[in-house]
Amino acid sequence: MAVLFFVSAASADGRVAAQSIAPGLAGNWRLQADADAARNRRPINGLSIATELVIRQSARDVTIESNTGTASTIVTTTLLLDGAEHPIPGPIGWDTRAKSTWDGTKLAVAIRRSVQGPEGELVFDIRETYTPSADTLTLERSQGRTTQKLVYKRQ
């Protein structure tokens, strides 16, 4: 049985908003199956496939360190959990933003990448869902009709 912890925060006008923290998301994770083959799969619109993740969480944010940078360098992404759109790391020249919320014990992230092209703005909407369960973490990533499912094991 999953247990959720709730932390209350007062907004500027005095209202109280509840924010849950899903147990089991934080930790060190390694991609299962053939990690080299997974990294060579075509990523969804430039989102590289991480073979290793380090996830930390608090009531306000989730920080994900992944080996998705150039030559597998570590990229740190902080996802704010207030539901507001905020900038996150992305390709040079692209505006990359995310909105993150809890959906039960899943972390749901909506990513918007945009860049000005010769015929106007190009926009890509990507959805990610992080689902922890026992010693596994399932990352489902989708863009349009394309979906990736990656399974990580706790280290």
Domain boundaries, the chain: 23-154
Contact 25, 62 (CB under 8 A): yes
Q: pLDDT class for 91, splitting at 50, 70, 90? A: confident
Residue that is written with structure tokens 């083959």 in the block: 37
- Rounded Cα–Cα distance for residues 7 and 33 (Å): 37
Distance in angstroms (rounded) separating the CA atoms of residues 25 and 79:
13
Binned at pLDDT 50, 70 and 90, residue 4 comes out as: very low
Cα gap 42→49, rounded to integer Å:
9
Only one residue has tokens 């994770």, namely 29
Residue 72 backbone class (left: φ over 0; alpha: ψ -120 to 50; beta: rest) = left
**Higher model confidence: residue 146 or residue 53?**
53
Quick one: CA dihedral 89, 41, 142, 2, positive or negative? Answer: negative
Q: What is the pTM of this model?
A: 0.79
Q: What are phi and psi of 94, to 5 degrees?
A: -100, 145
* Segment 95-112, tens digit of pLDDT: 999 999 999 889 999 999
Reported as a single tens digit per residue, the pLDDT across 10-57 is: 334 333 344 456 668 999 999 997 655 555 555 555 567 888 999 999
23-154 placed in CATH 2.40.128.20 = yes
Report the distance separating Cα 77 and Cα 143, nearest Å: 19
Comparing 129 with 49, the larger pLDDT belongs to 129
Lowest mean pLDDT segment, chosen from 16-25, 60-69, 117-126: 16-25
